[in-house]
Amino acid sequence: MNSTPPPSSRHTVSASDPRPESGELYDAVVIGAGPAGLSAAVALGRARRRVLIIDAGSPRNRAASHLHTVLGHEGLDPAELLRTGRQEALSYGADLVPGVVARVSEASVESGPVTLTVTLEDGSQVLGRAVIAAGGLTDELPDVPGLAEHWGSSVLHCPYCHGWEVRDKRLGVLAAGPMALHQAELLRQWTDRLTFFSAGAEPLSEETTRRLRARSVAIEPAVVTAVHGEGGAVTAVALADGREVPVDAIFTAGALRPHDAPLEELGLARSATPMGEFLSVDRTGRTSHPRVWAVGNISDPAANVVMSMSAGTFAGATANMTLVSEDFDLAESISIPG
């Protein structure tokens, strides 16, 4: 499987201040500076919380050049949205540092608030009373020559994000997982020139074949050997029998790898979904650990930009409320009677 492309200069991370002192205490540590993480940081900053954002600089949509279905920001460059979001978080006092988190663990605290230790790959550590994991995920693409090179431009994954731009064109769905048939049914809404490439996998059932053909979806069972392109756009899908099928865009849903490995030591509950196994969260984004939230694509692979921003804002507000309650509990525990 191929991973999506590396970060581009459009997503360069600039730190707000020198790196925090090792062992420095924050009310909340936000892992990830995408729409979910920055929204959480803004909510916490506006609540006058001390926030650290740790940004690996590799957002999931880094290959895309335009946002869609983001009310008021239609067509905006995703990098511009994140630049603005970073500045807004900084304006409310958040600290922002580039880095990759290696692990999150329970901290040993003899007195004061209970905290978690966040360790970066460079060995530095900070403490957080709350941790909001918003590091997103990686799309693992099928290992087909030419596919990864066009990811985000004419090799796509989300019909709602890109369908309008390729409406009525020759589209292909490259089967790479359990969501392929779902993609094919969805995309028929945007074009009547649709080919389903089962890519040499097990033959489709009679029921599935009948269902696709009922809406004039072409089915191509041959193994896909390459994706050809010209001028930055795909032009055809090459098959093992030597044929080429002309296409203007390809949709595929490969394996999804959430960036939740740093949380492994905490033993968080997980749930199986049609898109893979993801962290279990409640409606506020809180995991099975009372001090850890997971928002955006790290816990919801189907979340778009707006959904991720909403989840981040809700998690930030909920984390603040948790800390408010704890602040009162701590004050009561040390108050002198009378």
Which residues are CB-contacts of 9 (< 8 A; sequence separation ≥ 6)? none
Q: What is the pLDDT of residue 18?
A: 59
Q: What is the pTM of this model?
A: 0.91
Return the closest-CA partner of residue 69 out of 187, 151, 160. Answer: 160
CATH topology for 142-251 is FAD/NAD(P)-binding domain (3.50.50)
Q: Which two tokens stand for residue 58?
A: 């590799």
Residue 111 is given by DSSP the state S
The fold of the 25-138+255-335 domain, in CATH, is FAD/NAD(P)-binding domain (3.50.50)
Instruction: Please tell me the distance from the alpha carbon of residue 105 to that of residue 126, in angstroms, as a whole number.
Output: 11
Which conformational region is residue 229 in: left (phi greater than 0), alpha (psi within -120 to 50 degrees), or beta?
beta
The SS3 of residue 202 is coil
**Burial, 269: exposed, middle or buried (Cβ in 10 Å; 0-12, 13-18, 19+)?**
exposed
Q: What residue type is assigned to position 306 of the chain? A: V
- The whole-number pLDDT of residue 163 equals 96
Q: Return the domain boundaries, the chain.
A: 25-138+255-335, 142-251
Separation between Cα atoms, residue 151 and residue 50, nearest integer Å? 37
In this structure, which amino acid lies at residue 171?
A: L
Give the pLDDT of the chain (338 residues) as one tens digit per residue: 565 554 444 444 555 555 777 789 999 999 999 999 999 999 999 999 999 999 998 888 777 788 999 999 999 999 999 999 999 999 999 999 999 999 999 997 666 678 999 999 999 999 999 999 999 999 999 999 999 999 989 999 999 999 999 999 999 999 998 889 999 999 999 999 999 999 877 889 999 999 999 999 999 999 999 999 998 899 999 999 999 999 999 999 888 999 999 999 999 999 999 899 999 999 999 999 999 999 999 999 999 999 999 999 999 999 999 999 999 999 988 876 65
- In this predicted structure, what is the pLDDT of residue 15? 54
25-138+255-335 against 142-251: fold identical: yes
